[in-house]
Structure 1
Amino acid sequence: MTAVHPRLTEAPYERRDLTGGWLRPAVFGVMDGLVSNAALIAGVVGGSAGVRAVAVTGLAGLAAGAFSMAAGEYTSVRSQTEMTQAEIAVERLRIARNPEAEERELATIYQARGLTADLAREVARQVHQDEDVAWRVHAREELGVDPDDLPSPWVAAASSFLAFALGALIPLLPFLLGVDSLAAAVALTALGLFGTGALVARLTDRPVALGGARQLLLGGAAALATHQIGHLVGTVVS
């Protein structure tokens, strides 16, 4: 008997938050933290640095990266939200000043989506009976955004900060515990990369093994390249 996906059954289910602003920065943060700090540590080890130097460098990379990610995400999401709010304000003003033209525009949108001309006009007419409903509908139909569910810059910043710090801590753990072994850091990083890639694949209904392997390959290539650069720089400097 073929298994039925839970979201294809008749039973109600809780829909996932697609616009809340936490998943993308969290995923990007943990991936970036893993790859960048693993690559940084690999580069420092490649330059023949000791455990203390590697630990200090890794902690510095963790702090700098986490704060940078948080600031960048906050600014990015805040700017996007403010631009969206400005466009919504323009739409509200247009509806207030010329409701008939906006009603015709909404009817045209519905007609383009398959409604008959009469039905499209009737739906648009009913929507415009309440101006507060009208501008929300126009925002969704014309701008493609939900004015009641805009991404939060604070959520994005906190998600990216915590995720980056968590990812960056994984390859650093052996050196914080006094273990002078790049192999241990590599093993933990590989597990973290594969696990995170697999988790993202699971959340997006993609093959788990493929998602884990893809992230492991990309992160491993970045760390290896940085290790080689660090080794070459260490050789030249020494």
Structure 2
Amino acid sequence: MDHFEANVAVHAEVDAAIDFGAECPVEERARRPLIASVRRFQLGESGDGQQLLRNAERAGDPEYVRAIGLFVAEEQQHAALLLRLLAYLGGTPMSSHWSDAVFVRLRRVLGLRTELMVLSVAEAVALSYYGGLSAAGPDPVTRAVAARIVDDEQAHVRFQRDRLHIGFADSPAPLRLLALALWWVVAVGATAVVALDHRGVLDAIGYRPTRFVRDVLIDFAGLSAAVLLRRKSTSWT
């Protein structure tokens, strides 16, 4: 929770330095796929987090509920930044997309653990997506927005990892292995969908979809092993 609270001032300073008022220099052949891609990620970031907050409250840990509230606020900041990036690029937001609807339904299948597992898959995907844009985005504003978000997502993955590790700590080995297998199915499927659905922007920044898939799954392998295969406790700061 200390991390989220300390981030408030940092975010304000970083966001103020992004020049959304500048003239956009991105050429049309790169701008079109970038707009299409950012629209979908902006929709995914724009949830209100109420289901997650309700599930967190059922866990009976007030400090965790407070941390989840701050986490949701950061995700909503991402949505606002992506909305400003869309306006800068000359695009408009979308109100719905089938992949977002599937993702939301998966998150709500069971309780808090399931929601965090699905959410952490999205964040593992986001690490590579925003990492690619921050390194090779077509202009300074896009790179700055992506770098700002990827910094948050790195902390978010650790936050979800540590909570999930606690949640599965007392689960028997067969249950953990089953959860691991199902989690991998979701991760591989989600990564493949994003690689195909966002291929235009990945190609535009020179990020081969096969490399993108590899990068996401390498990150996910470390995350899933830390949650379900390692008995040593972890702590998030």
TM-score by length of 2: 0.33
TM-score by length of 1: 0.33
Which structure is higher in RCO with an 8 Å CA cutoff and minimum separation 6?
Answer: 1
